[in-house]
Chains A and B, each alone.
Chain A
Amino acid sequence: MDRRQFIVGAAKGTAAAASGGLLWYALLEQQARAAPPLRPPGARAEREFAATCIKCGLCVKACPYDTLKLVKAAGPAAIGTPTFTPRDVPCFMCENIPCARVCPTGALDSVFPDIAKARMGLAVIDPENCLSWQGLRCEVCYRVCPVRGKAISISNHPRQISKHALFVPVVHSEACTGCGICEKRCPTEVAAIRIVDPKLVQGRIGAHYRLGWKHEQAPTVESEAPAAADAARSAPKKEPGAGGLDYLNRGGTP
């Protein structure tokens, strides 16, 4: 083999490896960037989870309720990684978190301290199909919620066509674990409360909006505020019309 043949051969081999590698890379990223499914409690952030889950199924075996399933080929996420479908079997939030305990790689945090701190997803309500929003006293989701009263509360809501208020469920993201028991128990034909990836539904206000009335109710924020900011906030009160603004800011809905 002369030098020319060697160089041509090496170039061909490299091109074959590169073309195959790039195609494989495209498939990898395609799979990794698909909408993430619901993960077991204590899971790392999605991309990190997909990269460290070895797909052994030990969490699936450990779950006493058969909640977890490994994603099949052509399934909704990285093939072989664990997920669950709350409408089939939700997570019943075992206190000892057996699924996370057995994870050999750390894709699930095996020392995750408290199941109530799990964030598997977030419950969202479809008011157009929620029975409570239609004026019925359903409230099933509120009553089955394992983080009762904290993740879902019932709040009254004025009703245009009658003197009777609506009593509607409201989800609080700071307490909702995404276990999906509400979705499982929702009596509508297709669940009107669903567990989704919070990133799909949650917005973010942005730091440049100052919600003054909230800050006044939160003493920790108030005490941390520098004196200059306090002075600046108190200044407008001396201006004409400040009394009206104060009324709006003093809490209570008008």
Chain B
Amino acid sequence: MSASAPASGGRPVRHFEMPGSLAGKLRVWRFTIARRVVQFGLLLAFFGTLHWGWTLLGAPLLAGNLSAAKLAGAVPLADPFAVLQMLAGRHALATEVLLGAALTLGIYSLLGGRVFCAWVCPMNFVTDAAFWLRGKLGLGAGDDPVRLPSPTRYVILAVMLVLSAASGLMAFEAFSPVAMLHRELLYGVGLGLTGALGIFLLDALVLRHGWCGNLCPLGAFWAVVGRAAQVRVAFDNGSCTRCGDCVKLCPEPRVLHFGNAAARGMIASGECTNCGRCIAVCPESSLRFDLRARIRGAANGATAHGSTPGGST
């Protein structure tokens, strides 16, 4: 729907072409490389602290895992969604985990809620690999045997919180394939990998971006947080030719909506993971990372010039 919008200004539509030079390729892959460095670096920091005794300032570098951790023996971090499930179960909790969850929530509400999904989550290795395989097999969204309504993940998020409240247990954490995969990677592999394998098959052959884009309640939680995130993908409507190359690559097909993007001057949806794929392939450089506050100013400026209205939250 969004890709079929008319080309703006009658300019010729150029498409993305992979540069021949290595330097050009690296430039296109820069965000993917950066994401892998961050994902792998965090995993390595956890692994090194656990198994090789890595330290920082004499304290364990990054002890724990993505559910809860302690940085340099001083800074607590915790998964706010896990803590929310505990609170839904009406459990009294120690201050440390509450502080850690608040701190983590603060970091991601600056960087973009679903920055977790694209830059930190270990399941991203799995789902990106499945997406790569889809490309090799030439499978498009039309080939999928299943399609889910867009609010599915939010319904799952709500069900998980209702179940946590009803049972007093952590409904999602009890069987979270994300946390399970992370633990398998840190403490040794076992049957917990079945979840990741299932997600790989789902994403590769059953439903395009099935887990991250349709089902994962943790991603849905971060999407809600991301509605107010500061770092966003800014969109320059003036230079965009609606070639649609970004839409083809975007792991969240619903977030790249040219009408909304033109009105807001950015990809405002909390579902955007800030993965940077669209920025890397845009032949007109119409997309870039920027801060919400600055983007809003730019959109207002565009309004003053008589183009699309909007820019308010």
> Are A and B physically bound partners?
yes
Chain A residues engaging chain B, CB cutoff 8 angstroms: 13, 16-17, 20-21, 24-25, 27-29, 31-32, 47-48, 50-52, 54-58, 60-61, 69-70, 72-74, 78-80, 102-106, 110
Residues of A within 8 A of B179 (CB): 55, 80
A106 touches B92 (CB 8 A): yes
CA distance A69 to B158 in the complex (A): 32
A32, A52, A105, most chain B CB atoms within 10 A: A105
Check A28–B171 contact: CB distance below 8 A.
Answer: yes
Given known contacts A13-B149, A21-B159, A25-B167, A70 and B89 CB-to-CB distance under 8 angstroms: no
Is the pair A105, B97 in contact by a Cβ cutoff of 8 Å?
yes
B180 within 8 A of A: yes
Decide yes or no whether B25 CB sits under 8 A from chain A: no
In the bound complex, how far is the Cα of B166 from the Cα of A70, in angstroms?
26
A157 to B307, CA, bound (A): 98
Chain A residues with CB under 8 A of B190: 72-74
For residue B283, CB closer than 8 A to chain A, the reply is: no
B105 at interface, CB cutoff 8 A: no
The CA of A74 and the CA of B180, in the complex, are separated in Å by 12
Assess whether B70 is in contact with A47, with CB atoms less than 8 Å apart.
Answer: no
* Complex Cα gap A17–B83 (Å): 23
Asked whether A24 lies within 8 Å of B171 as measured between CB atoms, the reply is yes
B162 touches A (CB below 8 Å): yes
Q: Which segment, of B59-67, B231-239, B244-252, faces chain A?
A: B59-67
Chain A contacts of B155 at CB under 8 A?
A: 13, 16-17
Closest 6 CB pairs of A and B: A106-B94, A56-B68, A73-B192, A73-B191, A56-B64, A104-B96
B8 at the interface (CB under 8 A from A): no
In the complex, whether B278 has a CB less than 8 A from a CB of chain A is no
Contact A24 B100 (CB under 8 A): no
Q: Mark B28-43, 1 if CB is under 8 A from A, else 0.
A: 0000000000000000
Q: Give B199 Cβ to nearest chain A Cβ, in Å.
A: 14
Number of chain B interface residues as a range: 35 or more
Residues of A within 8 A of B160 (CB): 24
B78: Cβ under 8 A from any A Cβ: yes
Closest to A20 in B: B159
A242, chain B: closest CB distance, angstroms: 55
Q: Please name the residue on chain B nearest to A108 by beta carbon.
A: B94
| Residues on A with beta carbons closer than 8 Å to the beta carbon of B82 | 54
Name, among B49, B83, B159, B190, the residue most crowded by chain A CB atoms within 10 Å (CB to CB): B159
Known A54-B78, A61-B60, A73-B194; contact A78-B187, beta-carbon cutoff 8 A: no
Additional A-B contacts beyond A24-B163, A25-B163 (4; CB < 8 A): A13-B149, A17-B155, A54-B83, A58-B69
In angstroms, Cα B97 to Cα A155, docked, is 48
A80 cross-chain contacts in B, Cβ below 8 A? 67, 173, 179-180, 183
Determine whether the beta carbon of A104 is less than 8 Å from that of B180: no
CB neighbours (8 Å) of A51 from chain B are 86, 89, 91, 168-170
| Inter-chain contacts of A55 with B (CB < 8 A) | 65, 67, 173, 179, 183
B interface residue numbers (CB < 8 A to A):
49-50, 60, 63-65, 67-70, 76, 78-79, 82-83, 86, 89, 91-94, 96-97, 100, 149, 155-156, 158-160, 162-163, 166-171, 173-175, 179-180, 183, 186-187, 190-192, 194-195
Query: Mind listing 18 A-B residue pairs with CB under 8 Å?
Result: A13-B155, A24-B159, A25-B163, A31-B175, A32-B174, A51-B89, A54-B68, A54-B78, A54-B83, A57-B50, A58-B69, A61-B63, A70-B187, A78-B174, A80-B183, A102-B70, A104-B97, A110-B94
Chain B contacts for A47, CB-based, 8 A: 168-169
> Which of A24, A28, A58 has a CB less than 8 Å from the CB of B63?
A58
**How close is B202's CB to chain A, nearest CB, in angstroms?**
15
Contact status B180-A21, CB under 8 Å: no
CA distance A29 to B64 in the complex (A): 26
Q: Which residues of A contact B192 (CB under 8 A)?
A: 72-73, 79
A13 to chain B, nearest CB (A): 7
The chain B residue with its CB closest to the CB of A18 is B159
**How many angstroms between the C-alpha atoms of A73 and B176 in the bound complex?**
11
Q: Which listed residue, A24, A52, A78, touches B86 by the CB 8 Å rule?
A: A52
Q: Closest B-chain residue to A21, C-beta based?
A: B159
Taking CB atoms, residues of chain B closer than 8 Å to A13 are 149, 155
Contacting residues, chain B, for A105 (C-beta < 8 A)? 68, 86, 93-94, 96-97
Q: Are B174 and A72 in contact (CB under 8 A)?
A: no
What is the bound-complex CA distance between A29 and B164, given in angstroms?
11
Q: Is the CB of B180 within 8 A of A73?
A: yes
- CB of B113 to closest CB in A, whole Å: 20
